Structure 1
Amino acid sequence: MPADFPLLLVPGLICDDRVFAAQIAAFPGATAMPGWGQTDSLTAMAQRVLDTAPDRFALLGHSMGARVALEVIRIAPARVAALALVSTGVHPVANGEADKRHALRDIGRMQGMAALVDKWLPPMIATPAHERLYAPMRAMCIAQGLPAYEAQIKALLHRPEVDSLLPTIACPTLSCTGALDVWSPPAQHEAMAAIIPGASLTIVPNAGHFLPAEQPEALNAAIAAWLDRIA
């Protein structure tokens, strides 16, 4: 990792720095945002990143965290030496999306956060890693609490458009997802890589949506190659 550009990792919806344990261990000086609590806008999340980050840094966002990373680029592009968008999307709010997210919220309100997580989490971890990862990822998500889920889905449901932003990204960019990710499928990342000038694309086999924990060695290899592109 270039010494002048430390790696900052940005977690997604009801996640925290635990999802990046393998990346923090592999890259000296790498740090992760601790989670979002009840912050309810992507712009506010991006400002928290900028308030925490050094003057210039490499930025990797996972899932909702990649949408936060894009807002960082929108606010302060000169501070980002390189950008990685992992297991994410750039589409606007889809028909029915609010209803689905609010249905999970209502499960949480009626049955508790554990019930919400047990409905939401299983499809996100691919079968090869499910037995190893489900319990620790479940504990991480439950620990965030229902108020955090409610605030963060508000942020997602009011997300800014990014179609006009993607072609303006000028730093080395990695678009990366798991081959088995049903939430952020390979075709979605192929389309993102085609729009962002000079972006590279990596599809990791045998990985679902929790790619950083499911296939950490493969993702770390992609991160190392991406960081090597920083001049």
Structure 2
Amino acid sequence: MPFGQVRDINLYYEVVGSGPRLLFINGTGADLRRKQPYVDTLNDHFTVLRYDQRGLGQTEKPDRHYSMADYADDAAALMDLVGWDRAAVLGVSFGGSVAQELARRHPDRITRLALACANPGGPYGYPLLDLHHKDPETRARTMMELDLRKTPEWQAANPEKARELIEQGMKRGGGNTDPNAAMGARRQLEAREEHDAREWIDQIRLPVGLFGGRYDGLGTVEGQEFMAERIKGSELRLFEGAHGFLNEDKAAVPAITEFLTRAS
């Protein structure tokens, strides 16, 4: 799979599948080498342009400040590199923040915009940067509890399952031999922390679909509703699940696919 010079970085990307064009923008800490079932499902419906964002995966990791504008301009420049003038866009989690900035800076590149488990930043954004320097068990336990179903009462009633989820979380991301991986992840979290679209998100004038999990402590229902109220003509749908609702609720990916392929 190819690498390409995109602005100031050497970026890893893939073009897979067949059908209408879809730019897929992944989330916090994402690495295309770590497979997610729903991601490959998109290949059955779209020609998907997907990539490791700056600081992540196999893409270059310059040790300097990253802004959300950098991430949005990277996406637009990658479209230039592969010869795409316009495409539908799906931004997941942090990728939803990037997609908001892309819609602000390069609205003519987007035909339809789907934001999944995203938030508009500001008080609606969870401070993941605070977790970056915590020990692995604290990080894993906190992330488990951001599934709002995993209450203290649930954990007391299901101690073995809770322990299993914590251990899975501790292993996630392990084995990475890239000495710059932790720095790149921190730089992404810094950009995430700065994102606040509340003052301008109502300027987005595109067909926008908002998709979220009912029990998500990161892309909260409150954040989804804030965006739905301010983006004129947007559609909001909630699914059974938390931040991973795309893998939890079988209705989620078909709903997003229907939205993205609908005639504008």
TM above 0.5: yes
Alpha-carbon distance in 2 for matches of 1:151, 1:19: 23
Cross-structure match for 1:13:
28
- Check 1:156–1:225 CA distance in 2 against 1; reply closer, same or farther (3 A cut): same
Q: Compute the TM-score of the two structures, normalised by the length of structure 1.
A: 0.78
Query: How do 1:47-196 residues align onto structure 2 when only pairs under 5 Å count?
Result: 47-53=73-79, 54-92=84-122, 101-102=129-130, 104-107=131-134, 111=135, 114-115=136-137, 117-124=139-146, 135=168, 138-140=171-173, 143=176, 145-159=181-195, 161-196=196-231
Structure 1 unaligned spans of 5+: none
- The RMSD of aligned alpha carbons is 3.3
Question: Quick check: 1:23 aligned with 2:49?
Answer: no
Contact (CA 8 Å) 2:112, 2:206: kept in 1 or not? yes
Secondary structure, counterpart of 1:202 in structure 2: strand
Task: Kindly state the Cα deviation for residue 124 of structure 1 after the two structures are TM-superposed.
Answer: 4.2
CA distances 1:80-138 after superposition (whole Å, capped 9, x unpaired): 1111111121132579x76x733x2332xxx5xx45642443234566x9879984895
Q: Which amino acid aligns with 2:133?
A: D
Q: Which amino acid aligns with 1:147?
A: M
CA distances 1:53-99 after superposition (whole Å, capped 9, x unpaired): 2210111111111111111111110001111111121132579x76x
Contact (CA 8 Å) 1:87, 1:184: kept in 2 or not? yes
Secondary structure, counterpart of 1:61 in structure 2: strand
Secondary structure, counterpart of 2:211 in structure 1: strand
Query: How do 1:207-222 residues align onto structure 2 when only pairs under 5 Å count?
Result: 207-215=241-249, 217-222=250-255
Task: Kindly state the Cα deviation for residue 191 of structure 1 after the two structures are TM-superposed.
Answer: 2.2
Secondary structure, counterpart of 2:132 in structure 1: helix
- Check 1:134–1:229 CA distance in 2 against 1; reply closer, same or farther (3 A cut): farther
Secondary structure, counterpart of 2:113 in structure 1: strand
Bigger CA radius of gyration = 2
Greater RCO (CA < 8 Å, at least 6 residues apart)? 1
Q: Which amino acid aligns with 2:74?
A: R
Which of the two has greater strand per residue? Answer: 2
Contact (CA 8 Å) 1:177, 1:204: kept in 2 or not? yes
User: Among 67, 85, 91, which residue is 1:41 paired with?
Assistant: 67
Which of the two has greater helix per residue? Answer: 1
Count of residue pairs brought into register by the alignment: 218
Q: Report the identity percentage.
A: 21
Alpha-carbon distance in 1 for matches of 2:213, 2:124: 22
Structure 2 unaligned spans of 5+: 1-16, 56-60, 151-160
Q: Which amino acid aligns with 1:29?
A: T
